[in-house]
Amino acid sequence: MSDGTQGDLFAPPDPVASAPDLGTLHALIRRCTRCAELAEYRTQPVPGVGPEDARVFFIGEAPGRWEDQEGEPFVGKAGVYLTELLEGIDLDRSQVFITNIVKCRPPENRNPKAPEMQNCNGYLERQLSLLKPDLVVLLGRVAMERFFPREKITEAAGKPRKATIGAREVTFLPLLHPAFGIRRQDLKPEIARQFRVIREVLDQLD
């Protein structure tokens, strides 16, 4: 501390920040009741899916209806499209980690509120610090604004940039959210082009 004091030496360690592995962290998320409205409305929290050694880490907005029922992110229409987009760049869904900014479904799929994102932030931070990915893909505006709050997704999408998480340099890539391509078929070629940037970044990192 800047005033020379050490803080409360007897304060218990934060179980989220010190969770030793994804299994322990995800068990904490599954028991979370920090957001009263979401805890009441959800079927279950949706912590995330993927191997602990994944190099690519995808962040969406929040679970929708199907994700809430199945307990896995991106399993509805946008998820089927995401899986296709991954296959198009020779990535299998099982190789990457997929999660959301908020781990519980907001009522009627409304946008997550700032306090909900804040409550979930420690979970996302611990997922990132455990996995140490090379590339973090930000799917849509909500995910991008968590890291780059002053930017516009339509301008930033498809353009990789480097930033640090802790002391590690990580590549971040904002992309249009796949749900856009479901609503606007005309955007599909642009979304597929943006996904090819993931492959280019990975090839450069090899």
Among 67, 126, 157, 198, binds ligand URA (CB under 6 A): 67
| Interface positions, 165-194, toward ligand URA (CB under 6 A) | 179
Stretch that binds ligand URA, among 20-28, 75-83, 122-130, 191-199 (CB under 6 A): 75-83
Q: How far apart are CA 112 and CA 140, in angstroms?
A: 13
Q: Which residue has the tokens 């090839």?
A: 203
CB of 91 to ligand URA, least distance (A): 17
Q: What is the CA radius of gyration of the chain?
A: 17
The contact mask relative to ligand URA for 84-113 (x = CB under 6 A, - = no) is ----------------x-------------
**DSSP annotation string for 130-141:** HH--SEEEEESH
Nearest CA among 100, 77, 101, 82 for reference residue 92: 82
- Residue 116 as a binder of ligand URA (CB under 6 A): the answer is no
Stretch that binds ligand URA, among 9-17, 19-27, 37-45, 73-81 (CB under 6 A): 73-81
- How many angstroms separate the Cα of 31 from the Cα of each of 4, 28, 34, 94? 37, 5, 9, 25
- Residue 73 as a binder of ligand URA (CB under 6 A): the answer is yes
- Residue 78 as a binder of ligand URA (CB under 6 A): the answer is yes
A 10 A CB-CB count for 86 gives: 21
Supply 18's token pair: 């010190």
CB of 33 to ligand URA, least distance (A): 20
3-state secondary structure of 155: helix
Site residues, ligand URA (CB under 6 A): 60-64, 67, 73-74, 76, 78-79, 100, 179
